[in-house]
Amino acid sequence: MSEPFTETAPPGGVDYLAEEATPRFQELKRKHRSFVFPMSIAFLVWYFAYVLLSSFAPEFMAQRVWGDITLGLLLGLGQFVTTFGITMWYVWYANHTLDPISADIRADLERQEADA
Amino acid sequence: MNDFFAAVHTAVTTVENNPILNISIFAAFVAVTLFIVIRASRNNKTAADYYAAGRSFTGPQNGFAISGDYLSAASFLGITGAIAINGYDGFLYSIGFLVAWLVALLLVAELMRNTGKFTMADVLSFRLKQGPVRMAAAITTLAVCFFYLLAQMAGAGGLVSLLLGINDRIGQSIVVGVVGILMIIYVLIGGMKGTTWVQIVKAFLLIGGAIVMTIWVLAINGFSLNTLLESAVAASVTDPQDAILGPGLQYGKNPWDFISLAIALVLGTAGLPHVLMRFYTVPTAKEARRSVVWAIWLIGIFYLLTLVLGYGAASLVGPETILASPGGVNSAAPLLAFALGGPFLLGFISAVAFATILAVVAGLTITAAASFAHDIYANVIKKGNVPPDGEVKVARRTVIVIGVLAIIGGIGVQGQNIAFLVALAFAVAASANLPTILYSLYWRKFRTRGAVWSMYGGLAAAIILILLSPVFWGTETSVFKNVGVAIWPLNNPGILSIPIGFFLGWLGSVVGGTHENKTLAAEMDVRSLSGYGAEKATEH
Q: Average pLDDT, stretch B18-36?
A: 83
From chain B residues 8-37, the ones with a CB under 8 A of any chain A CB are none
Nearest to B529 among A14, A32, A58 (CB): A32
Residue to test with chain B: of A1, A2, A3, most B Cβ within 10 A: A3
Q: How close is the nearest chain A Cα to the Cα of B271, in Å? A: 16
Peptide bond connecting B499 to the previous residue in cis, omega within 30 degrees of 0: no
Statement: residue A8 has pLDDT above 70? no
B496 touches chain A (CB under 8 A): no
Q: Average pLDDT, stretch B294-309?
A: 96
> How many domains, in total, are found in chain B?
1
Q: Tell me if residue B480 falls in helix, strand or coil.
A: strand
From chain B residues 497-526, the ones with a CB under 8 A of any chain A CB are 517-520, 522-523, 525-526
Statement: residue B422 has pLDDT above 50? yes
For chain B, the average pLDDT equals: 88
Statement: residue B1 has pLDDT above 90? no
pLDDT single digits (tens) B383-417: 888 887 788 899 999 999 999 999 998 888 876 76
* ipTM tops 0.85: yes
Residue type (1 letter), B497: S
* B129 CB neighbour count, 10 Å cutoff: 18
What's CA B412's distance to the chain center, in Å? Answer: 21
Is B99's CB within 8 Å of A94's CB? no
Closest-approach residue (CA) in chain A for B249: A58
Q: What are phi and psi of B59, to 5 degrees?
A: -55, -50
pLDDT single digits (tens) A33-59: 999 999 999 999 999 999 999 999 998
Nearest to B130 among A4, A79, A99 (CB): A4
CA-CA distance, B450 to B501, in Å (whole number)?
10
- pLDDT of res. B486: 84
Q: Average pLDDT, stretch B68-76?
A: 85
Please, which residues have CB within 8 angstroms of residue B253's CB and are 6 or more apart in sequence? Answer: none
B117 touches chain A (CB under 8 A): yes
* B171 CB neighbour count, 10 Å cutoff: 15
Is A39's CB within 8 Å of B106's CB? yes
CA-CA distance, B94 to B79, in Å (whole number)?
7
- pLDDT of res. B293: 96
- pLDDT of res. B467: 92
Q: Tell me if residue B47 falls in helix, strand or coil.
A: helix
Statement: residue B168 has pLDDT above 80? no
pLDDT single digits (tens) B427-448: 999 999 999 999 999 998 999 9
Q: How close is the nearest chain A Cα to the Cα of B289, in Å? A: 8
Is residue B333 situated within a structural domain?
yes
- pLDDT of res. B253: 83
Nearest to B532 among A47, A73, A105 (CB): A105
Where is mean pLDDT largest: A70-84, B178-192, B512-526? A70-84
Is residue B328 situated within a structural domain?
yes
Is A5's CB within 8 Å of B130's CB? yes
Statement: residue B514 has pLDDT above 70? yes
Nearest to B129 among A3, A7, A105 (CB): A3
- pLDDT of res. B136: 96
* B417 CB neighbour count, 10 Å cutoff: 12
CA-CA distance, B181 to B403, in Å (whole number)?
7
Spell out the domain ranges in chain A. 25-115
Rg of the Cα atoms in chain A: 23
CA-CA distance, B76 to B437, in Å (whole number)?
29
Nearest to B299 by CA among A54, A48, A44, A87: A87
Statement: residue A76 has pLDDT above 50? yes
CA-CA distance, B101 to B80, in Å (whole number)?
20
Statement: residue B102 has pLDDT above 80? yes
Residue with the bigger pLDDT between B135 and B25: it is B135
Q: Average pLDDT, stretch B509-517?
A: 81
Is residue B187 situated within a structural domain?
yes
Residue type (1 letter), B359: A
Nearest to A87 among B122, B293, B304 (CB): B293
Statement: residue B11 has pLDDT above 60? no
- pLDDT of res. B26: 81
- pLDDT of res. B417: 67
Is residue B314 situated within a structural domain?
yes
Q: Average pLDDT, stretch A73-88?
A: 97
Is residue B436 situated within a structural domain?
no
Give the CATH number for residue B34. 1.20.1730.10
Residue with the bigger pLDDT between B191 and B483: it is B191
Is residue B195 situated within a structural domain?
yes
- pLDDT of res. B169: 79
Is A68's CB within 8 Å of B226's CB? yes
Distance spanning both ends of chain B, measured CA to CA: 62
Are the beta carbons of B167 and B157 closer than 8 angstroms? no
What percent of chain B is modeled with pLDDT above 70? 94
From chain B residues 135-164, the ones with a CB under 8 A of any chain A CB are none
